[in-house]
């Protein structure tokens, strides 16, 4: 059995590693030959997803940074926490994209079931592979088969960077819903913290954005030594209407992209990997071929759940955006009251950890 994965990003390598672990031959077609993962970008991984990643894909315990608490604040109630989630062992983990990428890439290059291939016309012959998995926006398959999607373009830009600061225990992530947009302080070591600031565009504000000034303004605990180079990208969310065409399956960020405020983007991909690999395992155990039936079953099991989960993240963003527009703390106060209910907090933690009944 043979699978071709189109793309060179983290989703492509993660799925490739999961497949070769099942002794499935994987050809990977990196359309961007010079792809280098952004070193200022980090990803959050929930506890259940980290357990799956370590046990079924590759062990990354040495590079993750465990978080025991997540605290939520709002500009309207800065002296009081809206929500406080905690676990004495591990609630969430943060890791640099580039570090996971390097570990996956190194492991795959030495695996006999894996190889990189160059683009040739032969790739268009769909009979060459049992399955073709497309993770790249710019591939010919995307333009031809996966252009229909439900899209929302946010009037925001996401800014990412890394802070160097003096050593502290640093196991508490902080999310602040500021008047300019959601700002996250995500610890990645005792002396480094990742920043993700999604800032609403303003027609009235013609001044150049002073991100460093904003970071210092909302900094609650760090003695900052250095702020690294700032990267930015346009924010949007979308869900693909159709997950597959014949034996070609869309995957990763090509399936769904969400607002970064909850750090759930890569978690959704890991859950997708889990579902897809389980389907493939069942086919192999029953002596059945990997073909279009894999794609049909994957879409049936996961599409509606991904859509619901994506919209729940969008609801959170719109909720606090509405509060920003009306400039009133009543919504924050209502969240604060609800957050005192233990059952509701546990429900939120479970959804963040496991998704929608994956």
Q: What are the structure tokens assigned to 281, written together?
A: 């395992």
What confidence tier does 352 reach under pLDDT thresholds 50, 70, 90?
confident
313-322: pLDDT as tens digits: 888 888 888 8
Choice between 328 and 13, residue whose per-residue pLDDT is larger: 13
Q: What percent of the chain has pLDDT above 70?
A: 95
Residue 220 CA to its chain's centroid (Å)? 26
Asked if 74 and 179 count as a contact pair (C-beta separation under 8 A), the reply is no
Q: What are the structure tokens assigned to 49, written together?
A: 């997803």
64-112: pLDDT as tens digits: 999 999 999 988 776 778 888 888 788 899 999 999 999 999 999 999 9
* pLDDT given for residue 83 in this prediction: 86
Which residue carries 């690294």 as its tokens?
A: 228
Stretch 255-260: mean pLDDT:
91
Q: If you write DSSP's letter for every residue of 3-34 in order, what string do you get?
A: EEEE--SHHHHHHHHHHHTTT-EEEEE-S-TT
Asked if 178 and 76 count as a contact pair (C-beta separation under 8 A), the reply is no
Q: How far apart are CA 313 and CA 130, in angstroms?
A: 35
Q: What are the structure tokens assigned to 27, written together?
A: 């050809």
Q: How far apart are CA 275 and CA 297, in angstroms?
A: 10
Please name which of 96, 90, 2, 108 lies closest in space to residue 46, comparing C-alpha atoms: 90
23-71: pLDDT as tens digits: 999 999 988 777 777 778 899 999 999 999 999 999 999 999 999 999 9
With residues binned 3-state (H G I as helix, E B as strand, rest as coil), the percentages for the chain, rounded to 5, are 40, 30, 30
Name all domains of the chain by residue range, CATH numbers in brackets. 2-354 (3.50.50.60)
Whether the pLDDT of residue 207 is over 70: the answer is: no
Which residues 6+ apart lie within 8 Å of 287 measured at CB?
Answer: none
Stretch 184-201: mean pLDDT:
94
CB atoms within 10 A of CB 58: 18
Strand, helix or coil at 148?
Answer: coil
Question: What is each CA distance from 7 to 156, 167, 310, in whole angstroms?
Answer: 27, 38, 23
Whether the pLDDT of residue 306 is over 50: the answer is: yes
What confidence tier does 206 reach under pLDDT thresholds 50, 70, 90?
very low
Least confident segment among 61-75, 196-210, 240-254: 196-210
Whether the pLDDT of residue 126 is over 70: the answer is: no
Asked if 263 and 43 count as a contact pair (C-beta separation under 8 A), the reply is yes
What confidence tier does 208 reach under pLDDT thresholds 50, 70, 90?
low
Q: What percent of the chain has pLDDT above 90?
A: 59
Asked if 15 and 253 count as a contact pair (C-beta separation under 8 A), the reply is no
pTM above 0.75?
Answer: yes
Kindly report the average pLDDT of the chain as a whole number. 89
Q: What are the structure tokens assigned to 245, written together?
A: 């065409």
């Amino acid at each position: 059995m043979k699978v071709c994965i189109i793309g060179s990003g983290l989703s492509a390598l993660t799925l490739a590693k999961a497949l070769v672990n099942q002794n499935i031959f994987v050809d990977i077609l990196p359309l961007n030959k010079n792809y280098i993962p952004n070193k200022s970008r980090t990803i959050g991984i929930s506890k259940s997803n980290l357990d799956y990643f370590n046990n079924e894909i590759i062990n990354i315990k040495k590079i993750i940074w465990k978080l025991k608490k997540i605290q939520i604040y709002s500009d309207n109630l800065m002296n009081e926490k809206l929500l406080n989630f905690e676990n004495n062992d591990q609630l969430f983990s943060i890791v640099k994209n580039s570090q996971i990428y390097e570990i996956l890439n190194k492991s795959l290059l030495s695996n006999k079931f894996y190889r990189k291939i160059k683009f040739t016309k032969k790739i268009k012959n769909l009979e060459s592979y049992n399955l073709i998995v497309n993770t790249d926006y710019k591939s010919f398959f995307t333009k031809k088969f996966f252009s229909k999607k439900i899209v929302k373009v946010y009037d925001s830009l996401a800014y990412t960077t890394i802070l160097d600061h003096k050593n502290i225990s640093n196991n508490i992530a902080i999310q602040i819903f500021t008047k300019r947009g959601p700002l996250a302080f995500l610890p990645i070591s005792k002396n480094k913290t990742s920043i993700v600031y999604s800032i609403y565009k303003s027609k009235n504000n013609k001044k150049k954005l002073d991100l460093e000034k904003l970071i210092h303004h909302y900094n609650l605990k760090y003695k900052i030594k250095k702020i690294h180079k700032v990267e930015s990208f346009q924010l949007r969310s979308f869900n693909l209407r159709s997950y597959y065409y014949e034996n070609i399956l869309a995957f990763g960020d090509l399936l769904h992209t969400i607002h970064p405020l909850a750090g759930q983007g890569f978690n959704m991909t890991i859950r997708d990997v889990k579902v897809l690999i389980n389907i493939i395992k069942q086919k192999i155990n029953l002596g059945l071929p990997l073909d279009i039936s894999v794609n049909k079953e994957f879409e049936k099991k996961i599409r509606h759940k991904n859509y619901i989960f994506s919209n729940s993240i969008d609801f959170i963003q719109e909720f606090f955006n509405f509060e920003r527009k009306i400039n009133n703390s009543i919504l924050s106060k209502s969240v604060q009251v609800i957050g005192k209910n233990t059952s509701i907090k546990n429900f939120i933690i479970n959804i963040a950890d496991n998704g929608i009944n994956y």
